[in-house]
Chains A and B, each alone.
Chain A
Amino acid sequence: MALSGLDIYKLLPKTNCRDCGFSTCLAFAMALAQKKASLDKCPHVTDSAREALESASQPPIKLVTIGKGESRIEIGNETVMYRHEQKFYHPTAIGILVEDTLIEAEIAKTISEINGLHFERVGQTIGVNLVCIKNSSKTADKFLAAVCRVASATKLNLALSSSDGASVSAGLAIIKDRRPLVICEDQDAIDDFINTALEYNVPLAVTSSTLDEASELTAKAKKLGLEELVINIKAKGIASRIQDFTFARRAALRKNIRTVGYPVMAFTDSGESPQELAEAVSYVLKYAGLVIVKNTKKEFIFPLLVARQDVYQDPQKPVQVEPKIYEIGKVTKDSPLLVTTNFSITYFTVAGEVESSKVPSRILCCDAEGMSVLTAWAAEKFTAETIADTLDKSGIKDMISHKRVIIPGYVSVLSGKLEEVSGWQVAVGPREASGIPNYLRGLR
């Protein structure tokens, strides 16, 4: 959180000794605020003031990197509570739990399922990001065996979860190149885990039931030199965890409280699939940087990934569909042609209504920079000229046997001009998409 010149001034010695080269402490503070000077120029600044100033220049929520290379994940460094204020930046990482109590064949099967958990959607590839190996057996050898098996079977990022520092240390010796996240399940073992994380330079998640405890643990780790930390909140009810996530985010963003200024994570606690999905979606929406789930079924993971994709969408940049001709139903050369913009919601709304009309039709989406019909019209992105141009260049002429185009009722004013510039016959459709089925059926 950036400090003002006055905030900085309050932290300076206020002696106006000029050793910094500025005539007063205030002048120096102003220069610092504008990043035109550096703090080392003042030899008299106290350690506590230096710490306060340095922490103020850090992002309020630490960015944590798990893994290496292209598939690495970055979580944290969020700047707002609500997506409409700006946007959410670093999508929640989705991890899958693999317990070391599974036998070899089960691990192999689970991992092969996990490796298939990626999907194409609205032009993006979405998938799970991480496999978390949990030391449920509480024995080191089973844990190590599982770590080896999982690591060799997947390229996904890894997390090691245990209450035993020595087991994790042994695991890290094998997979340190993958830069896994280490999850310390037991507060009493925190010292071992901090040392191990420092030794291997990996991020560490501390586990606790409350933010107060979490804050003590992160303070300790930070003091010993560990920067990349994650706060794992123990199972205690979905609502309670979401409150902790919310309060941690708010304290970090509004008050710059460093000890909770880290990404937060959770393991799902619910048993059966619909309840676990509801739980996981809740954490994705409400600020979790990492959620680790048990279910590996596609029909479970896909909606979870789409929820993440939705909520991390930039509200300033509308989702667009490709501007082109879409065929709905079994179209023939005589099927009606509707024109609309390439704002995804506009398109999907129109497409849905066309579909429910059961009248096979084509929809021509014009490139209106992803704006809705009225907005695009007002911004002159959806005009007689742009529609005529799209009709011309889309190749639609060769696909159909007529030259009739239906425009949205909201832009009926365009019809005369459009007929003139395009040479097409223009019909004015309904204003609301909900009127489309009636309209199309009426054409018959």
Chain B
Amino acid sequence: MPVELIKEKYSGAINTMEIGKGAGAVKIGGETTLPFLFEEGAMPNKPIVALEILDTDPPGRPADCGVTLLCVRLAGIHPDNGNKSADDAVKSLKSIAAGAGMPLVITGCGDAEKDNEVLPKVSQAFRGENCLFGIATQNNYKTLAATCLADGHSIIAESPIDINIAKQVNILISDMGFDPKRIVMHPTTTSLGYGMEYVYSIMERARLAAFVGDRMLAMPFILFIGQEVWKTKEAKEAGEIQGINWEISTSVSMLQAGADLLVMRHPEAARGIVKYIDEMMKGAKP
């Protein structure tokens, strides 16, 4: 006798977004189900892994680990870390972009003032390239949103593990005339063992709200896994394998909570997660 199962069918869907242009462009979002429940809905675009590099890294091709997106953090523009000028930032980004041949996610250094000075110039320099820029917060979003709007880029909106603020930032940015479909949410990333479960639950709650119609929470999620994981002593101090495993476990947790875009640090961990995503997507209906 077959078991009487309940399958959830939601009315809402997560927004679909494209990053980059031409053949190498990647698509994220579009889900109509919680992660990988293909009997209930679709995940038309598989989650994407971006490898994170810093503009201060020694030049060279990023490790080949199966990723299709590159995230460059402009660490070198920070007043305490080289204080690189906007022109220099553009120069290093251009050479990274030329070597990578992948679409770009570009984030600032975290110093609001310097980011607001540099990111508009970077945005202009990449005008029409359809990059994803970050990071806008509740207190500092106007400059970045205005420049992304003008130059045709998408934007990362961050909130501090708080579903109401997440929604608020999305509304603020949309109110500037920004297409909500060009916003990616960063719910804050925390490593495995350092409050990963808070983010996990915020993401589940946001997803469920989006599926029943909350358009201001229907944005894809980005998580900066590498940065957070490699700050922990469990990743740094117990050998490389444990660090890789820490990054993998954190990434899997975030994927199971609905992550669309993972920014990872260690090429081996990134490779493992790309494989994992492919394995999970085998269940997708053709």
Contacts and interface: CB of A to CB of B under 8 A. Distances in A.
Interface string A300-343: 10111011011101010001000000000000000000000000
A235 to B, nearest CB: 12
Contact of B201 (A83, A216, A257, A345): A83
Contacts of A277: 245, 248-249, 252
B198 A345 contact: yes
Tell which of B6, B194, B269 has the most Cβ of chain A within 10 Å: B194
B80 A441 contact: yes
A238 interface: yes
Contacts of A310: 192-193, 195-197, 200, 253
A257 B2 CA distance: 11
A268 interface: no
Given A356-B231, A437-B80, A84 B201 contact: yes
A211 B284 CA distance: 19
Interface string A222-261: 0000000000000001111011001110110011010110
A438 interface: yes
A240 B246 CA distance: 25
A247 B195 contact: no
A243 B194 contact: no
A251 B4 CA distance: 7
Interface string B181-209: 00000000010111111101100110010
Contact of B6 (A239, A247, A286): A247
A197 B168 CA distance: 57
B249 A304 contact: yes
Given A82-B201, A82-B204, A240 B196 contact: no
How big is the A interface, by class?
Answer: 35 or more
B111 interface: yes
Contacts of B280: 238-239
B272 A302 contact: no
A121 interface: yes
Contacts, number: 164
Interface in A397-431: none
A352 B231 contact: yes
A434 interface: yes
Nearest 6 interchain pairs by C-beta: A239-B283, A274-B272, A299-B242, A345-B195, A303-B249, A278-B276
Interface of B: 1-7, 36-39, 79-80, 110-111, 161, 190, 192-198, 200-201, 204-205, 208, 231, 234, 238-239, 241-242, 244-246, 248-249, 252-253, 256, 268-269, 272-273, 275-276, 279-284
11 contacts: A238-B36, A238-B279, A239-B281, A242-B37, A243-B283, A277-B248, A277-B252, A281-B248, A281-B249, A306-B234, A434-B110
Given A239-B283, A279-B276, 18 more contacts: A238-B280, A239-B284, A243-B36, A251-B6, A259-B3, A277-B249, A278-B248, A278-B276, A285-B256, A302-B242, A306-B192, A310-B193, A310-B195, A310-B197, A344-B195, A352-B231, A434-B110, A437-B80
Interface of A: 82-84, 121-122, 211-212, 215-216, 237-240, 242-243, 246-248, 250-251, 254-255, 257, 259-260, 270, 273-275, 277-279, 281-282, 285-286, 297-300, 302-304, 306-307, 309-311, 313, 315, 319, 344-345, 348, 352, 355-356, 434, 437-438, 441
